[in-house]
Amino acid sequence: MTRGRRWGAAALAVALLAGGCTRDDDGRFHPGAADVGDPYVPGAGNGGYDVGHYALKVRYDPANDRLTGEALLTATATKALSRFQLDLAGLTVDRVRVDGAPAKHRRDGAELIVTPPHGLPAGQRFAVEVTYGGVPEPLPSAELGDGGFRATGDGAIALGQPESASTWYPVNDHPSDKATYDLEVTVPDRLAALSNGVPKGTESRDGWTTWRWSEDSPMASYLSTLVIGHYRVATGTHAGKPIVTAVAAGLPADGPAAASVARTGEIADFLSGRFGPYPFDAYGGIVVADDRIRYALETQSRPVYGPGFFRGAGPNTEVVAHELAHQWFGDSVSVARWSDLWLNEGFATYAEWLWAEHDGRRTVERAFADRYAVTDWSKPSVDPGRAAMFGDAVYQRGALTVHALRRAVGDDAFFRILRGWLAERRNGTATTADFIGYAERTAGKPLRPLFDAWLVGASAPALP
Ligand SMILES: [Zn+2]
């Protein structure tokens, strides 16, 4: 994510909710946990199962803001489950089936609690069908901004980090449970309906058009998006893969927004030269015109950019470089818990430095020195607290750490670490300790003291 403006960090006491415990060593079935125990997103995610695939069919009518949906989730029980929970905020559930049989269900706030007719043994694959509908609303967050599905003047935008998905489909809403997706979205004929992955065509009938999208690489739920409205959509091929870019029709056809996303392929190629092969089956980008979207988000294979990034005279390619870098750092290799977000944002910020140097504007050494001079070392990059998860310590201090690693091990080992890490962890999740361990093994020397000093030390670290 890139914030459009400096975010005022409100003080917040984070409630530490322990994840529920499910015992399956006594031969009995037990309820799945109500969340994954991530204090940055209390209540989000669930325990006891792992989703493999979401097949979503949604219909949205901008005339009354009403969404109707059918979600088919294919999952595997990781514990012996008597019941399990999905995240679903608002909306009304009409019917739930598990493996084709009607299942009891009830709501508890933003949780959908499902009791199948029979217990699900550990290791069993099962299918959950949820039929639902209503007028979606974003999840309010005073300190992070609202996330999720919101109606716009001509359609809707479903977007947000760390939470968004549960406002428009039932989901295990935490990046530790990545899954593949198929989406069919039906909207009035005159509107576009854009999402992640490979376009699978459109079909029109009775004044409504169904747009199909397929994301075959595992995706964290916050990286799923749906953008509906009047857009100029450009479809082509880049490096043998489909590229779909879309700019809101309300923005100029030849303005900075269009000029910036038009360089998506070129910038992705530059990053691929540093990080290794582009990790997904499609490219793209979507620029929305709604001023309430004051950030850009690295939604998988197709980042969404708020309009505020493109108010300058020329293109803004640094924000494009940032969101595209996330396709490797964040999307392909995802955080297992939100306290390690610097693993996404530090590298995406560093990619801005790499791109600016390549583009002839500012060297990486200059960016590093300038940022080092103004850094508040009292604020840690790792586990900064929920209210500070999008703060400078995560982004800028994270990028400083990346460059400190480069200076400590040299260019050759540095880029071997990045490429090797991305290849080894592709389509998975990781923690800070995982990255440090990988860097040490690849460089062949201890690096823990360096990371400690640069990520969390309370005073300015010595330059390596
Ligand atoms: Zn970012």
Cα 407 to middle of ligand 1, angstroms: 23
Cα 461 to middle of ligand 1, angstroms: 24
For residue 97 the two structure tokens come to 């089936």
**What's the pLDDT at 337?**
97
Average pLDDT across the chain, whole number: 94
**What's the pLDDT at 25?**
62
Distance CA 302, CA 300 (A): 5
pLDDT (tens digit, 9 = 90+) per residue, 83-108? 999 999 999 999 999 999 999 999 99
Distance CA 420, CA 422 (A): 5
Cα 97 to middle of ligand 1, angstroms: 38
Cα 133 to middle of ligand 1, angstroms: 32
**What's the pLDDT at 30?**
95
Cα 400 to middle of ligand 1, angstroms: 15
Could you tell me how many helices (H) and strands (E) the chain has, helices first?
Answer: 8, 24
Cα 352 to middle of ligand 1, angstroms: 10
Cα 88 to middle of ligand 1, angstroms: 25
Cα 207 to middle of ligand 1, angstroms: 38
**What's the pLDDT at 15?**
30
pLDDT (tens digit, 9 = 90+) per residue, 155-200? 999 999 999 999 999 999 999 999 999 999 999 999 999 999 999 9
For residue 74 the two structure tokens come to 């294919």
Mean of pLDDT values over 440-455: 98
- 449: Cβ contacts below 8 Å, ≥ 6 apart: none
Q: Where are the beta strands (DSSP E) in 146-282?
A: 148-151, 156-159, 179-188, 192-194, 198-205, 208-219, 226-229, 231-238, 241-248
Cα 391 to middle of ligand 1, angstroms: 11
Q: Which residue has the higher pLDDT, 195 or 9?
A: 195
Cα 394 to middle of ligand 1, angstroms: 10
Contacts within 8 Å (CB) and 24+ apart, 111-114: 111/34, 111/43, 111/46, 111/85, 111/86, 111/87, 112/85, 112/86, 112/87, 112/88, 112/170, 113/83, 113/84, 113/85, 114/83, 114/84, 114/85, 114/86
In the structure, what pLDDT confidence band is assigned to residue 145 with cuts at 50, 70 and 90?
confident
**Which of 406, 378, 373, 404 has its CA nearest to residue 391?**
378
- CA terminus-to-terminus distance, the chain: 29
Cα 389 to middle of ligand 1, angstroms: 11
What pTM did the predictor assign?
0.94
Cα 148 to middle of ligand 1, angstroms: 17
Does pLDDT of 254 surpass 90?
A: yes
Are 80 and 30 in contact, with CB atoms under 8 Å apart? yes
- Residue 361: phi and psi, rounded to 5, are -100, -50
Mean of pLDDT values over 207-227: 98
- 457: Cβ contacts below 8 Å, ≥ 6 apart: 377
**What's the pLDDT at 133?**
98
Cα 247 to middle of ligand 1, angstroms: 20
**What's the pLDDT at 27?**
81
- 25: Cβ contacts below 8 Å, ≥ 6 apart: none
Mean of pLDDT values over 67-71: 98
Q: What percent of the chain has pLDDT over 70?
A: 95
Cα 153 to middle of ligand 1, angstroms: 27
Mean of pLDDT values over 42-71: 97
Cα 347 to middle of ligand 1, angstroms: 9
Distance CA 373, CA 369 (A): 6
Mean of pLDDT values over 319-323: 98
From the CB of residue 17, how many other CB atoms can be counted at a distance below 10 Å? 16
Q: Where are the beta strands (DSSP E) in 288-418?
A: 295-297, 304-305, 333-335
Cα 446 to middle of ligand 1, angstroms: 28
Q: Which residue has the higher pLDDT, 144 or 267?
A: 267
Cα 464 to middle of ligand 1, angstroms: 26
Cα 298 to middle of ligand 1, angstroms: 7
Cα 458 to middle of ligand 1, angstroms: 24
In the structure, what pLDDT confidence band is assigned to residue 13 with cuts at 50, 70 and 90?
very low
Does pLDDT of 11 surpass 80?
A: no
Cα 369 to middle of ligand 1, angstroms: 21
Cα 294 to middle of ligand 1, angstroms: 13
In the structure, what pLDDT confidence band is assigned to residue 288 with cuts at 50, 70 and 90?
very high
- 8: Cβ contacts below 8 Å, ≥ 6 apart: none
Cα 274 to middle of ligand 1, angstroms: 18
- Residue 205: phi and psi, rounded to 5, are -160, 130
Does pLDDT of 26 surpass 80?
A: no
Cα 322 to middle of ligand 1, angstroms: 6
In the structure, what pLDDT confidence band is assigned to residue 10 with cuts at 50, 70 and 90?
very low
Q: What percent of the chain has pLDDT over 90?
A: 93
Cα 354 to middle of ligand 1, angstroms: 15
Does pLDDT of 12 surpass 80?
A: no
- Of the listed ranges 8-17, 126-135, 302-311, the least confidently predicted one is 8-17
For residue 37 the two structure tokens come to 């125990």
- Of the listed ranges 27-31, 66-70, 230-234, 296-300, the least confidently predicted one is 27-31
Mean of pLDDT values over 309-327: 96
**Which of 242, 221, 423, 238 has its CA nearest to residue 338?**
221
